[in-house]
């Protein structure tokens, strides 16, 4: 898609932020007033290579505390003293895959999401150079890989179905390069694609 420039992506993210009412977006669980949600942020890393945009993902190891073996974005819980999602997302990306914050060109944010593990996650979209000399935290990350943006935007490559007796739905992609993208990370991915208005 020739119109899918950095400027286009940034403008669409800014437009979505301006039109947002600052409330949370999708929630994987019913939200109750007494719930104490934990702060978290992820980096949605964009790369441009092989003449097209890709999104970069990680696959978690089987040694992490939660979401073992799942495909995810670099990210995690907010540290004390961090005041913006960007600070958390960039710190986590450096810790997990060795991307220096100065190498990330932040473009904007997506709507926050409440996960099944009681986190309020803020996705931060940023461009990283590619190829890159990743330094993977092997305890947390088993693999770093990318998926073409337009493959992700092809409606034939994923399905969305509703959970029985619930208003919530689950998004899952067909396997790509042996990897299964589903759950919260797939939801954030589709939210990003819808923000860009490129779902096919």
Segment 181-198 shows an average pLDDT of 96
pTM: 0.93
Q: What is the pLDDT of residues 140-155, one digit of tens each?
A: 999 999 999 999 999 9
Main-chain dihedrals φ then ψ at residue 10, nearest 5 degrees = -65, -40
- Tally: H helices and E strands in the chain: 4, 10
Q: What is the pLDDT of residues 51-94, one digit of tens each?
A: 999 999 999 997 766 666 799 999 999 999 999 999 999 999 99
Segment 94-106 shows an average pLDDT of 98
CATH architecture of 6-148: Alpha-Beta Complex (3.90)
């Amino acid at each position: 898609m020739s119109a899918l420039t950095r400027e286009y992506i940034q403008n669409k993210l800014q437009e979505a932020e301006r039109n947002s009412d600052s409330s949370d977006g999708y929630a994987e669980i019913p939200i109750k007033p007494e719930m104490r949600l934990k702060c978290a942020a992820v980096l949605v890393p964009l790369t441009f290579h092989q003449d097209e945009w890709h999104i970069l993902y990680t696959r978690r190891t089987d040694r992490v505390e939660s979401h073992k073996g799942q495909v995810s974005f670099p990210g995690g819980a907010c540290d004390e003293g961090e005041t913006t999602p960007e600070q958390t997302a960039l710190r986590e990306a450096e810790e997990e895959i060795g991307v220096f914050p100065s190498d990330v060109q932040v473009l904007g944010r997506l709507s926050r999401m409440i996960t099944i593990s009681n986190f309020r996650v803020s996705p931060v979209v940023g461009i990283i150079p590619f190829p890159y000399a990743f330094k993977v935290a092997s305890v947390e990350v088993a693999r770093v890989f990318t998926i073409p943006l337009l493959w992700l935007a092809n409606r034939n490559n994923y399905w969305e179905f509703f959970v029985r007796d619930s208003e919530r739905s689950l998004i899952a992609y067909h396997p790509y390069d042996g990897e299964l993208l589903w759950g919260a990370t797939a939801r954030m991915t589709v939210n990003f694609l819808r923000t860009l208005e490129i779902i096919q």
